[in-house]
Chains A and B, each alone.
Chain A
Amino acid sequence: MNRRLAIARISLLGTALLLAAVLLASCRAAGLGEAEKAPMRIVLIAPVHAGEQGDAMRLGAEAAVKEFGAELDYIAFEPHEDEKEQLAAALAAVEGGASAVLIDPAGDEVLGALAHEASAQGAPVVTLNDERGAKGVQTSITADYEEAGRQAGEAMAELLGGSGTVAVMRPDRPDPDMERREVGARAALAEYAGITVTDGAACGNSRDACWQAAKQMLDHLKADGALALEASASLGLADEVKRRGEQGKLKIVTFGSEMEQLELLQEGSLHKLVVQNGFSTGYLGVKQAVSLLSGERVDKLIRLETRVIDADNMFWMNNQKMLFPFVQ
């Protein structure tokens, strides 16, 4: 009788203690669980030959990760590196356990391989400045290339006063985005009866190569205006125009907001720039990636605004804000 009572008492006490321990442990565990949420690691793979556009994207992405509490890995490339290195870096990032990958792909193969690898790992891929979708690419943030081309065409027509010959400098590789720019520009110029569009030259990412190409083009062609689809082409073209001492004679309209382009614009070697904002690209890219990782539905495509600037309006407040990343 006595022993049974003692056993009952001890067991009751034990149960109470166990209960207390469990309660305390659960409290502690819940507290820890909240604190330990692994931060999202978002990898931004810069475009090859990125220039200032890449820096602006990086700034935007940094602002976004700060806001959303993620981590950013920015992978940049040396000027001599190209598609192959970008692909290697992208695959390494996915292998390294990236939560999401933002990429401005140098080519189809890069995007295809990366998207394949990333979807195998379950990491969403966001393309920047590129509309080429691939299987495994969840969303794109890009300017409307055709619309940008149209804006460039309009600007050119305005510069030429509605009549003249326009030479187009295009990249030496197939790039659907550049083709869309050309399509837009040609469509806009086609509306002006006095304007003839001719094929000018093709060059890659090297300023010198483009200079050579421009030289040959201008040697053979009597053009009133030149439309450079890429920044490097515009720089080479401007170099050649300067060499010839014909600044301002040849009206040059191009794309991009590189520092050199801005200088040339103020010098009068370039006349109109169609610009887009790299900061927004980086920021929205990270934002989309965070949304995807949180399981939200996102738009397949986000279109960014492009704007035509010239030496006169480049310091207007709105254009300043777009052209010069705010250093913070």
Chain B
Amino acid sequence: MKTGPLRRKGNPSAAKRWMERLRASSIQSIIMWSFSAFILLIVAVVAVLLYNKFSRTAEENVFLSTQQIVDQVSYNLEDYVDGMAQLYRAIEDNMLRDGRWDDDQVTRQLDTIMSSRDDIVSIALFDDRGGLLRNHPEVPLRKSARVSEQSWFHAAMRVPDHLGFSLPHIQNLYNGTYIWVVSMSKGITVVHDGKPTRVVLLVDINFKKIDELSSRISLGKRGYVYIIDEGAGNIVYHPQQQLIYMGLRNESVEKALTSSDSYIDESAGVKRLNTVQSVVNIGWKVVGVSYLDEIMTTREEVNRYMVQVVVVVLVMAFLISMLLAAVLSRPIRRMGKTMKAVERGDFDVELPMKGPLEVVQLSSRFNLMLDKIRQLMRQIIVEQESKRKYELEALQAQINPHFLYNTLNSVVRMVGMSKNEDVITMITSLSKLFRISLSKGKTTITVREELEHARHYLTIQQMRFKKKFDFAIEAEEEALPCFTLKLVLQPLIENAIVHGIEYMVDEGMIRVKAYVRDGLLALEVADNGVGMSPQKLQGMLVELEAGIGAEASGPDGGSGSGSNSGSGVAVRNVHARIRLYYGAQYGLSYESEQEEGTTVRVLMPVMRQSAEEAEQDE
């Protein structure tokens, strides 16, 4: 008892566990189990409904059929009694009307009756003191036969003109025969020899007739019909009459005597349905006995059959659902297998376009996705190749032979002019320039280093161009630790010198700025040189955009294609590199006004890590 609440508490968690297990299990098992459970439920419900309906109907049928059979038996008996009454009338009319019973005509008539009715044992006529007047067949009466003491004689004398039926008894009127008979007797008043005389007409019918009327009736397997007399409840007929006579069997007739309908009798230890019907005119009652446990037996048989059917249906349902689940989940498993192959790096697989609609749709999406991945991978390969090429180009630009030649020429000239101080500055700057350019092969460097690099470059160029321009480097503290692609500023500065400052009459001014605006890192190179016409500016921008396409399309698109000198190529290179590294929204922008100067701005995302670190993090 104590486990009750515990179990109740335990149940939801078990159910939850089941739900979780179900959710975690495969589609195949979900389909299989739910389908089986569903069919089990339906079959069980149908079986229970059918079973209930069946047992109700079976019970009703037993009540009905018992009633009908008992009615039928009582109709048969009534019919028989009617026939006997007619026989009596015929005998009265033909033989007793004129009070003569011993002529030949009567004998012939009795012969006819006897030969037509095998159930009649004997016909006899007695006077009111029991003396034999006439009998048929004509055999002598037993000496010891005491007719006036017989119950049928009493009944006929007591109630004249009423056809009475005795209980079954041994016919003891004649010698040598001991037949069980039912005696019908009627007291009749006839005019004999001119005076009214009371006579008793006795017809003994073989009890076998009653037996035949009732014994073949069976109610179910063990049910039967018996007949009692309404007066005292004596058994008139019973299929086991001898056993009852011997006291080896009992029939509880008390309730049948008082009842006129069906009732349940449990006196014999089993439930029996007793149906009672009175037989009019004869004072008998027909009692039908049906065993109710037979209904239970039938029910159990049906039950067993149902269980068999349910089991078979279940097994079939299980098999079908297993098949169905396998068919449905096969494409999904196939998909999973294909995906695993992709996961392992085999991108050349393709899902077949077959199966249910959803699977076909999913397969097509998957194939499209795979296609896209393949395309992207090709693109990445191309981009990587471009990156390497641009980097190489940037380095080549750095070790530009012209630049080196010019610089070294300047150094020689300075040595010739004994400007030792300048020579030291220049050589130092050159050396630092190269060191930063190389910067251990890294792709990105800090803004600080980039600015440092720009400063050395500007220093060298300033000395080469004999201080034709001055320069200033300004940087926000915030921008300095940010990372940038290396060698971004140098081509821009070179461009500014070559196109902006070189043709100026006055001394030029180049400003290099680094700052962070709106989450973007901006590097700016501004000159106050000749500037550009809007047309030229437009041309530059177009060239810049086209350049990257040209560069990306092939490794050889580069150096000689521009109308301008190598520095134009280098600027395009910068733009392309930034966009490759950081995305298409970044890159160079120009602002220029003729005779006022040009400003080139490089925009890129704020990066707090070097390219190598970022790669490692990924």
Contact = CB atoms under 8 A, between A and B. Distances in A.
Given A63-B242, A280-B246, A327-B208, A20 B144 contact: no
B304 interface: yes
Contact of B315 (A20, A262, A266): A20
Contact of A317 (B169, B312, B319, B322): B169
A31 B304 contact: yes
A59 B242 contact: yes
Interface string B151-179: 00000000000000001011010011010
Interface in B168-205: 169-170, 172, 175-176, 178, 180
Residue from the set B180, B243, B246, B315 with the largest chain A CB neighbour count within 10 Å: B246
B54 interface: no
B241 A326 contact: yes
Interface string A7-51: 001001100110110011001000100000000000000000000
B170 A325 contact: no
A23 B144 contact: no
A170 B607 CA distance: 141
B114 to A, nearest CB: 21
A327 B315 contact: no
A13 B312 CA distance: 15
Given A279-B246, A321-B245, A315 B308 contact: no
Residue from the set B142, B308, B312 with the largest chain A CB neighbour count within 10 Å: B308
A324 interface: yes
B215 A13 contact: no
Given A27-B308, A320-B170, A16 B319 contact: yes
A13 B248 contact: no
B248 A262 contact: no
Nearest to A60: B242
A259 interface: yes
Contacts of A315: 169-170, 172
Contacts of B169: 315, 317, 320
A9 B315 contact: no
Residue from the set A277, A279, A284, A327 with the largest chain B CB neighbour count within 10 Å: A327
A3 to B, nearest CB: 14
Contacts, number: 78
B284 to A, nearest CB: 17
Nearest to B149: A315
A284 B248 contact: yes
A63 B175 contact: no
Nearest to B211: A328
Nearest to A305: B247
Nearest to B151: A317
A273 B258 CA distance: 40
A274 B455 CA distance: 155
Interface string A118-143: 00000000000000000000000000
A263 B172 CA distance: 11
B326 A23 contact: no
Contacts of A63: 240, 242-243
A20 B315 CA distance: 6
Mostly, the A contact residues are helix
B207 to A, nearest CB: 8
Residue from the set B167, B172, B248, B319 with the largest chain A CB neighbour count within 10 Å: B248
B50 interface: no
A283 interface: yes
B245 A326 contact: yes
A311 B144 CA distance: 8
Nearest to B168: A326
A55 B172 CA distance: 21
Given A9-B326, A27-B304, A266-B144, A327 B246 contact: no
B318 interface: yes
A266 B176 CA distance: 10
Interface in B135-152: 142, 144
B349 interface: no
Residue from the set B242, B318, B319 with the largest chain A CB neighbour count within 10 Å: B242
Contacts of A27: 304, 307-308, 311
Interface string B295-329: 00000000010011001100110110010001000
Interface in A61-76: 63, 67
B241 A16 contact: no
A283 B315 contact: no
Contact of B242 (A13, A311, A328): A328
Interface string B462-475: 00000000000000
Given A23-B315, A320-B169, A262 B304 contact: no
B301 to A, nearest CB: 9
B246 A263 contact: no
Contact of A17 (B144, B170, B319): B319
A279 B319 contact: no
Contacts of A12: 322
A167 B552 CA distance: 152
A283 B248 CA distance: 9
Interface in A96-132: none
Contacts of B211: 328
Nearest to A262: B178
B456 to A, nearest CB: 64
A16 B322 contact: yes
B322 A321 contact: no
B435 to A, nearest CB: 58
Contacts of A279: 242, 246
A16 B240 CA distance: 54
A264 to B, nearest CB: 12
A9 B323 CA distance: 9
A20 B176 CA distance: 70
A263 B177 CA distance: 10
B312 A20 contact: yes
A317 B307 CA distance: 55
A263 B215 contact: no
A324 B248 contact: no
Given A20-B312, A263-B176, A327-B180, A321 B319 contact: no
A13 B240 CA distance: 58
Contacts of B322: 12-13, 16
Given A27-B308, A327-B180, A328-B211, A277 B246 contact: yes
A326 B315 contact: no
Contacts of A31: 304
B246 A283 contact: yes
A325 B245 CA distance: 10
Contact of A23 (B178, B180, B240, B311): B311
A263 B169 CA distance: 17
Nearest to B176: A263
Contacts of A262: 178
A67 B525 CA distance: 125
A262 B172 CA distance: 12
A178 to B, nearest CB: 25
17 contacts: A13-B322, A16-B318, A16-B322, A20-B319, A27-B304, A27-B307, A60-B242, A63-B240, A263-B175, A266-B142, A266-B144, A283-B243, A317-B167, A321-B246, A323-B170, A327-B180, A328-B215
Q: Which are the 4 A-B pairs with shortest beta-carbon distances?
A: A321-B245, A20-B315, A326-B242, A27-B308
Given A284-B248, A322-B246, 14 more contacts: A16-B318, A17-B319, A20-B311, A23-B311, A27-B304, A27-B308, A27-B311, A31-B304, A67-B240, A266-B142, A321-B242, A324-B180, A326-B180, A328-B239
